[in-house]
């Protein structure tokens, strides 16, 4: 999964030569051998490295604050989203829904690496949601739909149908 995400990222970044990754441990943590120093270990570390290599530093945030926010959500992705239990899912979606209430992207008004990896991480959760649940987490759904239509991101994940018109008015229950 992590390797697939990294190769998607490489394509998105337009890196010509695909890297060769190995993995480490039971959790298959991606490892990238690095000519200039010790090997890079971990999804976030490798992804940030690729972004720098592609000279797209704005994807990591355009100021100290947004860089911190991007790192925070990348960490959230690998610690909270990965391996979350069924009970966690609701809390995660509820929290994200509240967070995204007044935001277009994870780190405010610009697309960043946080959107990419939160999208990959949350995709399996959204696929499982019923229509009503998607309506319940309307801000997450809106953000998700936006990112899956962002050029070069979704592939190869299947598109998720998101209904924009509410079938049920919330007045009736």
Query: Least Å distance between CB 54 and other proteins?
Result: 15
User: What single-letter DSSP state applies at residue 37?
Assistant: S
Query: Least Å distance between CB 10 and other proteins?
Result: 17
If the CB atoms of residues 101 and 158 are measured against other proteins, the closer one turns out to be 101
Burial of 51 (0-12, 13-18, 19+ CB in 10 A): buried
Bridge partner residues of 31 (DSSP): 22, 41
Cβ 139 vs Cβ 145: under 8 Å = no
If the CB atoms of residues 23 and 101 are measured against other proteins, the closer one turns out to be 101
If the CB atoms of residues 39 and 159 are measured against other proteins, the closer one turns out to be 39
Query: Least Å distance between CB 95 and other proteins?
Result: 5
Query: Least Å distance between CB 163 and other proteins?
Result: 22
Centre a 10 Å sphere on the Cβ of residue 111 and count the other Cβ atoms it contains: 17
If the CB atoms of residues 4 and 94 are measured against other proteins, the closer one turns out to be 94
Name the site residues for other proteins (rule: CB under 8 A): 27, 29, 34, 37-38, 40-45, 48-49, 64-65, 67-69, 71-72, 75-76, 78-79, 85, 91, 94-96, 98-99, 101, 108, 172-173
If the CB atoms of residues 12 and 73 are measured against other proteins, the closer one turns out to be 73
CA distance linking residue 130 with residue 134, whole number of Å: 6
CA distance linking residue 156 with residue 158, whole number of Å: 6
Strands (E), 17-105: 21-24, 29-32, 40-41
Query: Least Å distance between CB 42 and other proteins?
Result: 4
Nearest to 110 by CA among 138, 79, 146: 146
């Amino acid at each position: 999964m992590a390797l697939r995400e990294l190769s998607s990222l490489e394509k998105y970044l337009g890196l010509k030569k695909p890297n060769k990754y190995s993995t480490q441990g039971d959790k298959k943590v991606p490892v990238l051998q690095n000519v200039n120093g010790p090997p890079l270990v971990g999804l976030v570390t490798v992804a940030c490295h690729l972004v720098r290599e592609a000279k797209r530093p704005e994807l990591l945030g355009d100021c100290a604050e947004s860089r911190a926010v991007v790192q925070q959500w990348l960490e959230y992705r690998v610690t909270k989203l990965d391996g979350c239990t069924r009970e966690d899912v609701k809390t995660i979606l509820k929290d994200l829904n509240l967070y995204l209430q007044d935001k277009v992207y994870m780190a405010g008004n610009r697309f960043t690496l946080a959107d990419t990896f939160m999208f990959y991480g949350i995709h399996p959760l959204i696929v499982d949601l019923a229509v009503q649940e998607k309506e319940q987490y309307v801000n997450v759904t809106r953000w998700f739909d936006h990112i899956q239509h962002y050029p070069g991101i979704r592939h190869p994940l299947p598109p998720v149908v998101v209904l924009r018109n509410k079938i049920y008015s919330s007045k009736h229950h």
